[in-house]
Amino acid sequence: MLLNPLCRLHVGIGSRVCAAFKHTIDYSKVPKINESDLSEQFVRGSGPGGSAVNKNANCVVLTHIPTGHVIKCHTSRCQDENRKRAREMLVAKLDEELNGEDSVTAQKRRLESNKFKKTEYKKKKMAQLKSEWKKREGLA
């Protein structure tokens, strides 16, 4: 499997993940990718960096043949990093498609929203207690 325990925390789309979530997320349903199911191409990059980026073929275009999903990754100037990141992105996309609400990203989203709800509840409760205290003490 491509995801080791340290990288699992970073799979997702821009979500902040706490290390404590690692033990509460079910990774058993994450799909495994066979290298024979992949078509990999290296194309020239684009974007900021000028000619240092534009003349090198370090952008990875990864195609999953059974599903037809195409992932294009050019997050780094290093081709090896882009290859690894493209595979992680493909695993996340397949997991989202196959497992839906049981996918790793959905589980992380759920945990984040639960954490946010708890903190909001605590904030409201503290504000209410503070306002009651001010009324009781005659400060407000």
For residue 90, give the CATH number of its domain: 3.30.160.20
Number of Cβ atoms within 10 Å of the Cβ of 74: 19
pLDDT tens column, 34-68: 999 999 999 998 888 888 888 889 999 999 999 99
Would 52 be classed as within a structural domain?
yes
- 131 within some domain: yes
Question: How many independent structural domains does the chain possess?
Answer: 1
89 Cβ neighbours under 8 A, 6+ residues apart: 71, 73
Q: What spatial distance separates the first Cα and last Cα of the chain, rounded to whole Å?
A: 60
Is 1 among the domain residues? no
Q: Which residue has the higher pLDDT, 52 or 79?
A: 79
Locus of tokens 């990059």: 45
Residue 130 lies in a domain: yes
80-121 per-position pLDDT tens digit = 999 999 999 999 999 999 999 999 999 999 999 999 999 999
**Where in the sequence is the domain holding 55, given as residue range(s)?**
7-137
Residue 2 located in a structural domain: no
Q: Which of 25, 22, 28 shows the shortest CA–CA distance to 9?
A: 22
